[in-house]
Structure 1
Amino acid sequence: MPQTPPHLPACAGPGWAGPGWAQRPLHRAPRPRPGRGPAALLRATRGRRRPAGAALARLLARGSAMAAGARRAVMTKLDIRNYLERIYNVPVAAVRTRIQYGANNKRNHRNQRVKKPDYKVAYVQLGQGQTFQFPNLFPEKEQDTETRSFDDFRDKYMEKEKQKEEGDPRRGGVPDWFGL
């Protein structure tokens, strides 16, 4: 076992001040416990030097949505604007987006929390004088002869059933079950 230099405390072991200690990084980011996510790593580094910029950016980019297992919302404001202007020929004045967090109050059969996925909501302000009308997804179709004949058959059948329910007019309003 290598000796600790005399100017260092005895508790400083060989991994801290052994040969080649100047080449070692002064800080190693602590490893999070499994299942704790990036927030636990950031809490673990409190009071110490933070991880390098790229590593911190990766942690923050994953965010709580990644820890919860939700999908990422992929369309940006620019994507939404281009989609509406180029495909639908709708002039767009402004686009605002936000992330709607999914509910986290359901539990499965093992009493584990089940989170609904997060989704992105876009608020689009149209150009001046523009209005938006939802397209008619289910237009009325012309009735062909088969559907007309089926409708006629159904109407006749319903009339017969209604006459059966009314009962015999000779009984004077007395129900069928009250008799011999």
Structure 2
Amino acid sequence: MSTRWYPLYQRGNPQLRVFLPNFWMKLVRPQGRQLPNIVHFECSMEMTKFDIKNYLEKIYNIPVVDVRTRIYMGKFRRDVGKGFVYKDDDVKSAVITLPKDMKFTFPDLFEKSKDDEEEQDKAMAESKKSFQNYIDRNKNRSDVPSWFTI
């Protein structure tokens, strides 16, 4: 489970300890076109296929049909200034197959609604108006810096 060290004794009662797992999973957009019931994740190197399946079923209540994992080796790179070679971390990728009747669509995080665009247009018009007022106030004072206004 966890490789973190916790104090054995803690002053006071009750002795509260929280054991946190070292597991994490990150949703990744697939590079090519995939079936709608296949989902890609990057996960911690310590996770096994059984751990991944339990993680998704127990925490997120997602029925999992199949789990396939693969470890991608990190790239070797040369530092331009100093010349030494370093290696990026290895990455474990998991491909999860959901039941045929389930569909997964990757969430669109950057979609804009019409209300947001209207609010942005109002804010832009207001800032233009305030900037024009600022210019009009200071156009007759060429010898005084513009930041020195009353």
Q: How high is the TM-score relative to the length of structure 1?
A: 0.38
Q: How high is the TM-score relative to the length of structure 2?
A: 0.45
Give the strand-richer structure, 1 or 2: 2
Give the helix-richer structure, 1 or 2: 1
